Amino acid sequence: MRLLYTLLLYLITPLVLLRLLWKSRLQPEYRRRVAERFGLVVPAGEGIAVWVHAVSVGETVAALPLIEQLIRQHGEGRVWVTTTTPTGSERVAAALGARVRHSYAPYDLPGAVARFLERVRPRQVVIMETELWPNLFRAIRARGIPLLLANARLSPRSLRGYSRVRRSIAAVLADCSEVAAQSPADAERFRSLGAPRVSVMGNIKFDLDLPEPQLRLGRQMREALGADRPVWIAASTHAGEEAAALAAHRQLLEQLPAAAMILVPRHPQRFGEAAKLVGASGLRWLRRSESVPQADTQVFLGDSMGEMFAYFAAADLAFVGGSLVPVGGHNILEPAALGLPVLFGPHMHNFVAARALLLEQGAAIQIEAADGLGTQLKALFGDPARRQRMGLAGKDAVEANRGALRRLLQLLQQHAP
């Protein structure tokens, strides 16, 4: 199966490169640094203490507290961070700068993997969430390098898919020194696939840092909008959700004419598309890239990267996107940690445990369809006491579940070479 998998990878590599070229029409970064994807990175010299892989922005943000601790332990320049997407790369550069070495991760081709490992020479490897790469994992194990699958999650839907190739997946998981699962349910699913070494660490997304410079920026944005105005945020939205958010905001304006919305699309290549939608709405709007918000701004378009906490800090409640469309949701713990009531749609399979926790604690409301967003906004803005209870419940829930980062660092120490 591994041989067949590798052969198929070689056959589709030209198509993968064409896809990068296609995506670069909207995001030119996709056609840059392509050599890194084939393991052609600048050699590390003295070697790297830990290699941390995080696919894109969400995984990178979740991994930042871990990476910061690893820098403190091993020193600057001794941690290598890889991502798969340009947005993830930009987040690494903005948050960590020259304190880490950074590149794109190699494709799971034997040659690319070998070149990368020979040049980086990590002593430990941490793969965030559930990235299973057979050739990479086998090459890491063959070199005797401890490999930890960290903050690992496995949805019931993913389990059904992997179960079709259970023997192959079991072999991949056997190459891991340990699978550090987010929850007991995730751990049981990994065990059912044949993972021999599984522990429950919790979710390090609860251990997120709240960056004071961004919180200060958020307070400034809120002051510019007007401290007494109702302000909500539609965060990490995807195609179809911006239109739903604008429709919901129109409903809210009927009840509260002074209300303002902060709209933040998930991907930068969609900023232009979102701007066209907002411009056609007839509402008074401004772009973050061109101006600060004003007291009469009805829609503030957050077309910037790395400022999500600032946008959250400027709002009274949050709708988190990727959930009204079948993407699987995004990190609802970030607004909860800031004491915001949280709204999301029915598609939350990427954040099952966080969803269940916030709903159970009364900190969030799930909307079953787009037309329910405006209804919930009006209800919550009409009930300040309920908003306050929800916000405090979410903040307390995040605080009570911290500690996964400490346990993860202890696990890395146990597996240190």
Residues 70 and 141 in one domain: yes
pLDDT bucket at 157, cuts 50 / 70 / 90: confident
Residues 222 and 254 in one domain: yes
Residues 27 and 158 in one domain: yes
The verdict on residue 2 lying in a domain is: no
169-216 pLDDT tens trace: 999 999 999 999 998 999 999 999 999 999 999 999 899 888 999 999
Q: Does residue 338 carry a pLDDT above 80?
A: yes
Give the C-alpha separation, 365 to 343, whole Å: 5
Residues 171 and 59 in one domain: yes
59 is catalytic: yes
Residues 172 and 231 in one domain: no
Q: Are 56 and 30 in contact (CB under 8 A)?
A: no
Q: Which residue has the tokens 């004071």?
A: 212
The verdict on residue 13 lying in a domain is: no
Residues 135 and 36 in one domain: yes
The verdict on residue 110 lying in a domain is: yes
Domain containing residue 140: CATH number = 3.40.50.11720
Nearest to 27 by CA among 275, 302, 197, 267: 267
pTM of the model: 0.82
Task: Give 151-208 as a DSSP string.
Answer: EE---HHHHHHHHTTHHHHHHHHHTSSEEEESSHHHHHHHHHTT-SSEEE---GGGG-
Residues 146 and 262 in one domain: no
Give the C-alpha separation, 351 to 335, whole Å: 14
Q: Does residue 80 carry a pLDDT above 80?
A: yes
Residues 120 and 231 in one domain: no
The verdict on residue 7 lying in a domain is: no
Domain containing residue 380: CATH number = 3.40.50.2000
The verdict on residue 83 lying in a domain is: yes
The contacts of residue 288 (CB under 8 Å, 6+ apart) are 300, 301, 302, 303, 304, 307
pLDDT at 336: 98
Token code pair at residue 150: 């960290």
Q: Are 302 and 264 in contact (CB under 8 A)?
A: yes
CB-count exposure of residue 3 (10 Å: 0-12, 13-18, 19+): exposed
51-65 pLDDT tens trace: 999 988 888 888 999
pLDDT at 27: 83
Residues 32 and 158 in one domain: yes
User: Cβ of 347: how many Cβ atoms within 10 Å?
Assistant: 15
Residues 31 and 109 in one domain: yes
Q: Does residue 46 carry a pLDDT above 80?
A: no
Residues 277 and 177 in one domain: no
For residue 315, the enclosing domain spans 212-399
228-250 pLDDT tens trace: 999 999 999 999 999 999 999 99
Question: What is the count of structural domains for the chain?
Answer: 2
pLDDT bucket at 356, cuts 50 / 70 / 90: very high
Select which of 29, 36, 59, 360 is catalytic. Answer: 59
Identity of the amino acid at 15: L
Residues 121 and 38 in one domain: yes
